[in-house]
Amino acid sequence: MLKLIKKISLFLPILLTMIWVNWTVDPAHLLSNKFYTDAAQKLKSSNIVLPGNCNEHLLIKEMLAEQTKKSGLVLGSSRSLIINEAEFGSADFFNLSLSASNLEDIIAAYGIYYSKFGIPKKVIIGIDPWIFNENRTSEKHFALADEYNAVAELLGFEKVPNEGLKHYSNLISPTYLQESILSIMKDGFEETLSEQVDDLTLPHKNKIKLSNGTIVYPNISLPNKELIDQGVKVFYNDDMVLGFNEYEKLSESKTNMLRTFLVHLKEQAEVILFFPPYHPDMWKHIKENRKYQNAVKAEEHTRKLANELGIETIGSYDPSKYELKSTDFYNAVHANHWAHQKIFGVEGDVEP
């Protein structure tokens, strides 16, 4: 027993140091809400640099808590995050799209709006091909369990557990300690809060989140076809990144879930389903890969559902439908604003 106590006493200072460092630095803003409340305050009247190490679900929750009602909504993944007011047709909207969203994330984001404002007047939903893949699972929407469950109870979906104190496990995580140490080496122990950006005409090398939630990509250089095409190949063999891992079928349960959600929205809202395009080389790769065929079928599958419900659709995964080329994309999966101008039929700056 005495030996055990001695061993624990030797280990305890290490454990306490780990807890103190992780709590103090908190590099991914998992242990405190201060980063998100600060960002939300700034987004009331300005824009912020979008950090790569934050929980987007918590960010949009705090953002909406500080905002007054807008009657429109954009939902989807990062492939819908650049939809702006010209493409939406009004400045009266929030873009609550979240990176790599599954259908559950879309519903959770909607739950934030619905819980505060009710059903919007207009909704654009980005439909990505992976949302019907039952084997693409995530628990990210658990961060918005209350908001998701409010909609789930209304529509008869299965509820999800609240994360509770789960995030505090990062206090004793060696992996999180490594992130903390890297953060200290970069910024010291200085508290990292969101960086406000007031003038979007100035060159910026980071993504900017606007006060309505829309993302603006870096503007420090013009699209370079050679670099874009080289970057596309990075995605070719990463099923997890594409969301097509073990895509065995178009899920009937996910289809029914989407149908129920759309019927709910149609009670009061104008609903538009948006199919974000892929880079020409990426789409060719997807079409020619046998294991991705359910992803290819997802667009037509959704169009049939939209026709059944009398819902408008716009866009296509196939870039040739809008004569899009390599320089209409940031990378393999994200179209740029020139592509969106063509798809949504709006005027903008001239493409170089």
Instruction: List pLDDT tens digits, range 22-35.
Output: 777 777 777 778 88
Q: What pLDDT is attached to residue 112? A: 95
> CB-based contacts of 203: which residues, under 8 Å, 6+ apart?
219, 220
Residues 28, 34, 40, 44, CA torsion sign: negative
| Amino acid 259: pLDDT | 98
Confidence of residue 15 (pLDDT cuts 50, 70, 90): confident
Strand spans (E) along the chain: 47-49, 72-75, 93-95, 122-126, 196-197, 208-209, 215-216, 270-275, 312-315
Q: Confidence class of residue 228 from pLDDT cuts 50, 70 and 90?
A: confident
Average pLDDT score over the chain? 87
Helix then strand count (H, E) for the chain reads 13, 9
Check residue 352 and give its pLDDT: 45
Query: How confident is the model over 67-102, as pLDDT tens digits?
Result: 889 999 999 999 999 999 999 999 999 999 999 999
Our measurement of the distance from residue 107's CA atom to the centroid of its chain's CA atoms, rounded to an integer in Å, reads: 12
Q: Higher pLDDT residue, 276 or 189?
A: 276
The pLDDT of 12-22, averaged and rounded, is: 75
Q: What is the CA radius of gyration of the chain?
A: 22
Looking at the chain, the whole-number percentage of residues with pLDDT higher than 90 is 54
- pLDDT score of 70: 92
Q: Quick check: helix, strand or coil at residue 225?
A: helix
Q: CA 315 to CA 342: how far, in whole Å?
A: 9
Give the pLDDT mean for 240-261.
91
Q: Going by DSSP bridges, is the β-strand pair 72-75/122-126 parallel, antiparallel, or unpaired?
A: parallel
Give the residue extent of every domain in the chain: 46-164+194-344
Q: What CATH code would you report for 46-164+194-344? A: 3.40.50
Q: Per-residue pLDDT for 291 more than 80?
A: yes
Mean pLDDT, rounded, for 328-335: 92
The yes-or-no verdict on residue 314 having pLDDT over 90 is yes
What's the pTM value of the predicted model, to 2 decimals?
0.90
Report, as an integer, the average pLDDT of 202-216.
Answer: 87
Q: Write out pLDDT tens, residues 109-148.
A: 999 999 999 999 999 999 999 999 999 888 888 888 999 9
